[in-house]
Amino acid sequence: QVQLTESGGGLVEPGGSLRLLCAASGFDFSRYGMGWFRQAPGKDREFVATVSYFGGDIYYGDSVIGRFKISRDNAQSTLSLQMNNVKPEDTGVYYCAAAAGYVGSVKVDDYRAWGQGTQVTVTS
């Protein structure tokens, strides 16, 4: 079955960096768009970044533009999120998600599979 497993979360100081990794299995990773979302306590799940099946068509949420970078390795079936210059408002559980088609999306409902999430806490 489809499985998405996130790793790399943790505690980081403001201005620091973190790299999240999502390992995918159980489906043909190279044929689907992928995305990262996050959810802070008491808030809705928020779009962070998305990438299409071939690694192009990349889009970011307004709050992370210029600081985060999404990438994928289809040979390894992995999705990454490089987080630089993090801020306290970046705190939350980060989820990896597989889209229903070739391209990604900013909408939660356009994703068919989700990982369990990895906690990122930005604090001094």
Write the CB contacts of 46 (distance below 8 Å, at least 6 apart in sequence).
37, 38, 39, 40, 61, 92
Query: How many alpha carbons lie under 13 Å from residue 74 in its C-beta half-sphere?
Result: 14
Rounded to whole angstroms, the Cα distance separating 34 from 96 reads: 7
For position 112, what pLDDT does the model report? 96
Q: How does pLDDT run across 13-42, given as a tens digit for each residue?
A: 999 999 999 999 999 999 999 999 999 999
- Tokens, residue 31: 């044929």
For position 9, what pLDDT does the model report? 97
For position 56, what pLDDT does the model report? 87
Q: How does pLDDT run across 36-78, given as a tens digit for each residue?
A: 999 999 999 999 999 999 998 999 999 999 999 999 999 999 9
